[in-house]
Amino acid sequence: QTIYLKDYKPFGWIIDDVHLTFRLHPTATRVISRIRFRPDYDVHDRPFMLHGEGLKHISAKVDGHEVELHHVNGGIEVDVPHAPFNWEAEVEINPEANTALEGLYMSNGMYCTQCEAEGFRKITWYPDRPDVMAQFTVRIESDAEHTPVMLSNGNGLYYAQDNTQSPAPNISIYQDPWPKPAYLFALVAGDLVAHEDKFTTMFGREVDLSIWVRPGDEHKCAFGMEALKKSMKWDEDVYGREYDLDEFNIVAVDDFNMGAMENKGLNIFNSSCVLASPETSTDGNFERIEAIIAHEYFHNWTGNRITCRDWFQLCLKEGLTVFRDAQFTADMRSEPVKRIDDVLALRARQFPEDQGPLSHPVRPESFQEINNFYTATVYEKGAEVIGMLKTLVGDDAYKKALDLYFERHDGQACTIEDWIQVFEDSTDRDLGQFKLWYTQSGTPNVTVREEYTDDTFSLHFKQSSEPTPGQNKKLPQVIPVAVGLLNDNGEEVVPTKILELTEPEQSFSFEGHATRPVPSILRGFSAPVVLHQDIDNSRRAFLLANDTDPFNRWEAGRMLARDSLLSSIREGNAPNSDYLVGLRTLLGDTSLDPAYRALMMGQPSQSELAGVLHQAGVTPDPAAIHAASEALRSAKAEAFADILPEIYAANQVSGAYSPDAEPAGKRALANAALGLITKLDGGATAATQYAKANNMTLQLSALSALLDAEAGDEALQAFYDQWRDDRLVIDKWFSLQVMHAKPEALAKTTSRLTNHLDFDWKNPNRFRSVMGMLAAHHAGFHHESGASYALLADWLIKLDPVNPQTTARMCSAFQTWKRYDEDRQKLAGAQLKRIAEQPNLSRDTSEMISRIRGV
């Protein structure tokens, strides 16, 4: 059953308040609801419909009288008066049996919830839609011994043991003064300990902050707490947003389908996205945790105070909040490094989505299961769209528009139209064409040609987009292209300027240039497009050496690496010397940030190369791509043999571990050097590093290098023995082995790992640490035997009845299947068909598989 944006209708009723009582029990929790409804007189003839799924019904009363429920698709209809009335219902649910991890479920003896997008309907009868906002009061009763801590949204009002009952239960009451949709509801109960702190807001209010974890994890909370306080301060300084409750709670949960969730005043996190210690977390983990804590915190205004009218508007909160967390990270760390990281992620995850069968607009127009639309397009392309808007209107106008947005829409459930209107009203700009970024899917192609005559330098642009599912004709979009001009000496003669492309073809001229300038185009990756520019390697080498825009300087190196790889894949050529020479100079330039140089050392991934070949009309050969990638790495190791030991030595960090950008950047560069050194010394340096490592960044990179050199067996065992009791580290141990398998051995290695006692496949982190890596191993996943396709299909079929959401997400491993040759398409197609034909396939997985198959 497909839901369409165009069919939106308001609910027809307004909720004055919601009172919930939970009598917690692992297999038989009672949920008692008391809700005051009144008609929304602007909206007539609505049947009174409440959502509900898998609820054991006990009773339902309207104004004290038991009523009959009429079961309809996804819920119930009830005959109610056309006047205000009280709804009282009692249902029973089974948290322990809830392996889908949606609604109220248990993780290691702890009760927790996940309600976004449509999980609240698994808790009680309710209008489970984001445009119904209400004040909640929640009472939780539970046995004192196992669940001493009981939390919900808002402010804690009351906590006591009720000695009139035997055994005496604990009672906790929470009240949330801010009206909210049900998807922001949360409840947590368990044996938890808090890492506490305080924050004083810009207007002097004191907020109690707590990060709640299982006993034993207390030492992993300090970093998250600092990140939270930094986020609170940053949102005040940059967006003028103050926190609005007396307490803010974060809870770490081991079994969680995604990263984290912004429930009002009670954020719930996948433990991998909040727990951190130097011994167990890498620099990358620390940075990611800081960003996710910020992301969830920022949702308090962009998502919670202003929410979405319906799930089609998901990008309204997600695109904006991703954009805000990226600004935060850029401010806390390095702006160019963050931008490059984000573009890498966009090209790795969003471009393949937008160029394949799962392509959809940033604001989709239809879905079967909304959980399938928490995608790179909605999140990351959604954030790019905000960035373009800011570029087009300028920083001051952006700030004015955001102030207006918060003022005009606080407490409302909004649409993309509301968002765009705010910018139109505060800038007098017509954004009608800009809005296509929200409605048109696919990655636009921009082609540029240069011309130089009579002191005038011109750029001639063309834009076009390929057809995508459901959209054959594309209109030209507004594309901000940041351009600067350099002279022959590498000096900037025209600083960055924004050219606005709005037509299919458009030219821009720069007059008064006595010598031909060199353009630097799409600086800072000013739009999420594919740029086609017919320039040779010497020009790229020039930009690599001279561009004043750090993004485009990095991009020039990236394009050199890419062309080198493509020419060895297609023509068997040796690695390109412009690339090796240019990169060598850069690596030796100690005036450049080590983190930036570390990024320069990277090269396009094998799946990115496959995508580029496919876009150019060439069928990618995974084995050839793998061989060329390895050959380029070896060539770099040879070419830089003399400078690598020095780079490695110069970037060792002494003293106590700090996850800050500066030492992390040095470690990133040293570890990139280590990767190449290992190609030359067979793992000798890596073995020394492994033996001495006193933090996870050094330990893991050393282990990874050893595995690369096929000299890691002993270290792998030692690593397991050291960390067998730490789930998050053992996830890394699984991942690493899959990542380093030889392509032809991948399916066998992975299959062996799934037989390991610690392969707890019902835990999403563990499942992803193995199956996610299988899918990410380009040459191995697409091995001609088809063994990896079959293995992944086996596991998707096994997981689907247990956890549809995590299964459906992993199906995207197959989204590129049509890129490859006929034999591979047959093999992958057969597995997709096998999955599709499973009886009782979940709605989540069946939607994904049918979109991927294109049927």
* Shortest Cβ 299–ligand ARG spacing (Å): 7
Measured from the CB atom, the residue of 132 and 753 that comes closer to ligand ARG is 132
Residue 258: which of Zn ion, ligand ARG, none does it interact with, CB under 5 to 8 A by kind? Answer: ligand ARG
> Is 260 one of the binding residues for ligand ARG (CB under 6 A)?
yes
Catalytic-residue membership of 555? no
Measured from the CB atom, the residue of 678 and 806 that comes closer to ligand ARG is 806
> Residue 809: helix, strand or coil by DSSP?
helix
Report CA torsion sign: 357, 358, 360, 364.
positive
Binds ligand ARG by CB under 6 A, chosen from 318, 353, 608, 708: 318
Which residues from 315-374 bind Zn ion, rule CB under 5 A? Answer: 318, 321
Measured from the CB atom, the residue of 302 and 443 that comes closer to ligand ARG is 302
Q: Choose the stretch contacting ligand ARG; rule: CB under 6 A; options: 216-224, 253-261, 348-356, 754-762.
A: 253-261
d(CA 211, CA 266): 10
* Shortest Cβ 297–ligand ARG spacing (Å): 10
> Is 296 one of the binding residues for ligand ARG (CB under 6 A)?
yes
Measured from the CB atom, the residue of 117 and 696 that comes closer to ligand ARG is 117
- CB 356 within 8 Å of CB 314: no
Q: Choose the stretch contacting ligand ARG; rule: CB under 6 A; options: 24-32, 255-263, 387-395, 725-733.
A: 255-263
- CB 813 within 8 Å of CB 850: no
Q: Residue 116 has what DSSP assignment?
A: T
Q: Choose the stretch contacting Zn ion; rule: CB under 5 A; options: 142-150, 314-322, 351-359, 742-750.
A: 314-322
- Tokens 């309204």 correspond to 316
Would you state the structure tokens that stand for residue 81, as one six-digit string?
A: 């008066």
d(CA 428, CA 807): 46
> Residue 281: helix, strand or coil by DSSP?
coil
d(CA 625, CA 640): 23
> Is 117 one of the binding residues for ligand ARG (CB under 6 A)?
yes
- Give the phi and the psi of residue 49 in degrees, each rounded to 5: -120, 130
Site string for ligand ARG, 370-409 (x = CB under 6 A): -x--x-----------------------------------
- Tokens 């299947």 correspond to 817
Binds ligand ARG by CB under 6 A, chosen from 133, 202, 258, 397: 258
C-alpha 371 chain-centroid distance: 13
How big is the site for ligand ARG, counted in residues (CB under 6 A)? 11
- Give the phi and the psi of residue 24 in degrees, each rounded to 5: -70, 135
d(CA 530, CA 562): 14
d(CA 356, CA 358): 6
- Give the phi and the psi of residue 390 in degrees, each rounded to 5: -65, -40
Type of residue at 618 = V
* Shortest Cβ 318–Zn ion spacing (Å): 5
Residue 371: which of ligand ARG, Zn ion, none does it interact with, CB under 5 to 8 A by kind? Answer: ligand ARG
Q: Choose the stretch contacting Zn ion; rule: CB under 5 A; options: 57-65, 80-88, 312-320, 598-606.
A: 312-320
Measured from the CB atom, the residue of 374 and 406 that comes closer to ligand ARG is 374
* Shortest Cβ 805–ligand ARG spacing (Å): 6
Catalytic residue of the set 262, 296, 353, 384: 296
Would you state the structure tokens that stand for residue 53, as one six-digit string?
A: 């799924």
Measured from the CB atom, the residue of 88 and 342 that comes closer to ligand ARG is 342
- CB 595 within 8 Å of CB 665: yes
How big is the site for Zn ion, counted in residues (CB under 5 A)? 2
Would you state the structure tokens that stand for residue 248, as one six-digit string?
A: 């803010």
* Shortest Cβ 53–ligand ARG spacing (Å): 14
- Give the phi and the psi of residue 361 in degrees, each rounded to 5: -65, 160
Interior CA angle at 500 toward 497 and 502, to 5°? Answer: 170
* Shortest Cβ 350–Zn ion spacing (Å): 16
d(CA 611, CA 815): 12
- CB 292 within 8 Å of CB 256: no
Residue 5: which of ligand ARG, Zn ion, none does it interact with, CB under 5 to 8 A by kind? Answer: none
* Shortest Cβ 157–ligand ARG spacing (Å): 27
Residue closest to ligand ARG (Cβ): 374
Annotated catalytic residues are: 296
Residues of this chain that interact with ligand ARG (CB under 6 A) are: 116-117, 258, 260-262, 295-296, 318, 371, 374
Residues of this chain that interact with Zn ion (CB under 5 A) are: 318, 321
